[in-house]
Structure formats: structure tokens, C-alpha cells
């Protein structure tokens, strides 16, 4: 790797506190110098700016590890294929990024820093250009699909059934990115909430996020018969196909959808494994899919489900306490596979707690939890009282 990762990290620390201003400057520079790229972005840019800084943070975190950096860039490349970004714009993105960091670095900017950032962006641009220009064989940019079912599961949650025009390959535990013509140019990730079906249909559990453009449309407006587009299945929070170990799954909120897909897979395979599920919600009302829970309990003799819902006035804190108590009451989690799904701060907090109870962190699987390079920002609400430095993250609609 030709550039010095330490120089990039140190200079990033200088501008991190001005994240929103940096993102605005980046997009203004990009659109001014490359007018044609504006068409690839939605009219409302607030959420896109947050996502930009989150992605930049992930790149800086991985910049000292070529393998991890390449893996993350491949994921970004797949995402940009789904929005039909043109390969020649990749270099423009790098130039605008350097310009934005330079502008907000002020007097701390040096020739050494400019060299490091320019070389880092060159590497990033090369990888993403190769991915965008040479997609894997038989890997569509996106799948056309139709909304064939819609159920309001709670006041702010809808379960959508999507039927792709062509078969959609995935493994239970993965997620997809989704876009609707109601909100052009906006893509969001949602867990696939079922194991593969003969009719190739997919379920996604969507919670309306305050200010969320796509989640609001999906929960309140989208109707059966409407078209949507799906990006390729992503993520490796899947079951170990060879593991005989017992499985612990902790799901918070719409994270239940991902856990449900894993349980359906185990049922279809008639797997002889003990499975314990902790299903957390802010209240009894938000335990929104208990009919599916009861159906799986009836089919899977070695499945145990514990419901953790806050009482009146307890809300999220009540559910957090119940989950914590259940894990502590069990005591030793050594020798268990663990699957975590839910809000972004769930996985880091539970991984830490379970490690203290004997769990092998190498057996813990979950989707990547967004985090920043530094943790001096206002913390997100932590899953457990006393949990330090909960990572700041951009708003997410991922289940």
C-alpha cells in the first residue's frame, strides 16, 4: 500500500467533527465540477450526506488493512452498480473528497497529507472503477420485482412481500437493498425475512423511521401491484452449515425478520440443534409477529423463545434489562453459535457482554455495525447502562 494510513487517520480526526459541513462541501464540489453526476442522486440530500460520512469513516477504519479495505470497497462497488453509477465518475468522487478534506483541514493541511489522501483515493477509485466496469458474470445490476403483499404489522411497521420477475439468489441471514419509484434514487438495506420459497417471493419487515423517505413510503403508501427494484443479496450473517453447536439468536425490533429467516432454514433442513431466541421489543404491542413465532415453536421441537418487552412506561430500557437478565441468568455461553440482529448498537454491546460470559467472539455473527473513527461524538443510546462509547451512526433503516 503506497500511502501512509496513519497520516490519513490523523488528518481525518481533524475534520471529523465537521462531518455535515464536509459532506455538503463534497457534494457541492462534485456537482459543480461534474454536472452529469447529479442525476444519480435524490433531490433530498440530507440522508445521503449522512451515508457519505459513514462510508468515509468505514474506509478510514479499514485503510491499514488491504484485505478489509478491498472487501468494503467491493460492497460499495456493488451498491453503486445498483444505482447505475458510471465508472468514469469514480475518479471525480476521489477528487472532490480530497478537496473537501483539504478545505476543512485549514492550516493543518500539508503536502504530506495531500499526498497520502491522493494516493489513498487513487487506490479506492481503481478498485471501485474495476468493480463498476467489470461486474461478475451472471450478476445483474438489480432485479425487477413487484409488491405482491402488504400487511401493517404495527403502527409503524409493515411486512411487504416482494416477488422478483426472475429468481433472486440469497442465503437466509442476508439482506438486500431496495428502491421504489415513489422515492427515485433512494436505496435502503432491509433484511430478507424468510428462507427461500418455491415461488421465489421475499418478505421484508420495514419500520418507519422519522424523516426516512423510503421507509415512510413503504410503510404508509406502497400498495400491492407496485414495482420495486432489488440490489443483490449482501452480508455474511448466515448460519454455519456444518455446525452442530447450539444457537443463541437475539433479535431487537425488526431484527426479528432476519432471525425468522434463519429459523425457517433450520426447520426446512430439520436440523437437530437446540435454539434459544431472545425476542426484544419496546412494548408488548411491538411484538408484532407472534403468530409466526407460535408457528415455528409448533414445528421446531428444540426451539425456545423468550419474549423481552418493556412494561408500561419502561420502553426500550425495560426490554434491554430483560435481555441482559436472561443472558446473565444462563451464565456460560461458551460453545454456542450466536446470531445478533436489530438496531446498530445492539451487536457491539451484546458481543461485549457475551464475551464476558464465555462466548467465543469468533462464533458471533451479525451485520456490520456502523462506527466512526473517533468516539467523541454524542453517543447513541446504549443497549446497556454503563456501556461506554456507543458508536455514533447515521440514521439507518436496516432491520
Alpha-carbon distance of 203 to 7, in angstroms, equals 45
Name the packing angle between helices 89-105 and 19-33 (round to 10°).
140
Please report, for the domain that includes residue 52, its CATH number. Answer: 1.10.490.10
Is residue 102 domain-resident? yes
Residue 169 belongs to domain spanning = 143-230
Domain boundary among 85, 112, 133: 133
Is residue 108 domain-resident? yes
Is residue 237 domain-resident? no
Please report, for the domain that includes residue 199, its CATH number. Answer: 2.40.30.10
Are residues 24 and 120 both part of a single domain?
A: yes
Contacts for 147-153: CB closer than 8 Å, 24+ residues apart = 147/222, 147/223, 147/224, 147/225, 147/226, 147/227, 147/228, 148/201, 148/224, 149/201, 149/224, 150/222, 150/223, 150/224, 152/219, 153/205, 153/288, 153/289
Are residues 121 and 35 both part of a single domain?
A: yes
Are residues 127 and 171 both part of a single domain?
A: no
Is residue 305 domain-resident? yes
Is residue 236 domain-resident? no
Are residues 272 and 200 both part of a single domain?
A: no
Are residues 31 and 125 both part of a single domain?
A: yes
Q: Whose CA is closest to 252, among 278, 276, 283, 275?
A: 278
Whole-model pTM over 0.85: no
Alpha-carbon distance of 350 to 388, in angstroms, equals 13
Radius of gyration of the chain (CA): 22
Please report, for the domain that includes residue 272, its CATH number. Answer: 3.40.50.80
Domain boundary among 112, 133, 154: 133
pLDDT tens across the length of the chain (399 residues):
567 888 888 888 888 888 878 888 888 888 888 877 777 676 666 666 666 777 777 788 787 777 777 777 766 666 555 545 555 667 788 888 889 999 999 889 999 999 988 888 888 777 777 766 665 555 567 899 999 999 999 999 999 999 999 999 999 999 999 999 999 888 889 999 999 999 999 999 999 988 888 999 999 999 999 999 998 888 889 999 889 999 999 999 899 999 999 999 999 988 888 999 999 888 888 889 999 999 999 998 899 999 988 777 666 777 788 888 899 998 899 999 999 998 877 888 889 899 999 999 999 999 875 544 343 333 333 333 333 332 222 233 333
Q: Which residues pair with 176 in a beta bridge?
A: 190
Backbone φ, ψ for residue 312 (5° rounding)? -55, 120
Q: How many domains does the chain have?
A: 3
Amino acid at each position: 500500500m503506497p500511502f501512509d494510513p496513519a497520516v490519513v487517520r490523523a488528518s481525518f480526526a481533524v475534520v471529523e467533527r465537521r462531518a455535515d459541513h464536509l459532506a455538503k462541501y463534497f457534494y457541492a464540489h462534485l456537482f459543480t465540477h461534474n454536472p452529469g453526476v447529479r442525476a444519480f442522486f435524490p433531490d433530498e440530500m440530507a440522508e445521503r450526506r449522512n451515508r457519505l460520512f459513514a462510508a468515509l469513516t468505514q474506509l478510514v477504519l479499514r485503510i491499514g488493512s488491504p484485505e478489509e479495505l478491498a472487501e468494503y470497497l467491493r460492497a460499495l462497488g456493488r451498491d453503486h452498480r445498483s444505482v447505475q453509477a458510471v465508472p468514469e465518475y469514480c475518479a471525480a468522487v476521489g477528487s472532490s473528497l480530497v478537496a473537501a478534506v483539504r478545505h476543512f483541514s485549514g492550516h493543518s493541511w500539508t503536502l504530506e497529507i495531500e499526498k497520502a489522501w491522493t494516493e489513498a483515493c487513487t487506490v479506492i477509485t481503481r478498485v471501485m472503477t474495476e468493480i463498476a466496469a467489470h461486474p461478475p458474470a451472471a450478476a445483474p445490476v438489480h432485479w425487477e420485482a413487484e409488491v405482491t403483499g402488504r400487511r401493517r404489522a404495527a403502527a409503524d411497521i409493515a411486512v411487504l412481500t416482494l416477488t422478483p420477475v426472475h429468481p433472486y439468489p440469497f442465503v437466509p441471514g442476508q439482506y438486500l437493498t431496495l428502491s421504489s419509484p415513489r422515492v427515485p434514487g433512494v436505496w435502503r438495506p432491509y433484511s430478507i425475512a424468510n428462507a427461500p420459497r418455491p415461488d421465489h417471493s421475499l418478505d421484508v419487515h420495514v419500520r418507519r423511521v422519522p424523516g426516512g423517505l423510503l421507509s415512510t413510503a413503504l410503510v404508509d403508501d406502497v400498495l400491492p401491484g407496485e414495482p420495486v427494484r432489488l440490489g443483490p443479496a449482501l452480508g455474511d450473517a448466515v448460519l454455519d452449515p456444518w455446525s452442530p453447536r447450539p444457537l443463541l439468536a437475539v433479535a431487537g425490533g425488526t431484527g426479528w425478520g432476519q432471525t425468522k429467516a434463519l429459523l425457517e432454514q433450520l426447520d426446512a433442513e430439520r436440523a437437530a440443534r437446540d435454539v434459544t431466541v431472545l425476542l426484544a421489543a419496546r412494548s408488548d404491542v411491538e411484538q408484532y409477529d407472534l403468530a409466526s413465532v407460535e408457528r415455528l415453536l409448533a414445528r421446531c421441537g428444540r426451539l425456545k423463545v423468550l419474549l423481552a418487552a418493556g412494561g408500561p412506561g419502561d420502553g426500550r430500557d425495560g426490554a434491554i434489562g430483560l435481555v441482559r437478565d436472561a443472558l446473565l441468568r444462563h451464565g456460560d455461553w461458551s460453545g454456542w453459535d450466536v446470531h445478533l440482529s436489530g438496531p446498530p448498537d445492539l451487536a457491539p454491546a451484546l458481543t461485549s457482554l457475551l464475551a464476558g460470559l464465555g462466548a467465543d467472539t469468533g462464533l458471533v455473527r451479525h451485520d456490520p455495525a456502523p462506527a466512526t473513527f473517533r468516539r467523541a461524538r454524542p453517543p447513541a443510546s446504549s443497549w446497556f447502562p454503563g456501556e461506554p462509547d456507543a458508536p455514533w451512526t447515521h440514521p439507518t433503516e436496516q432491520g
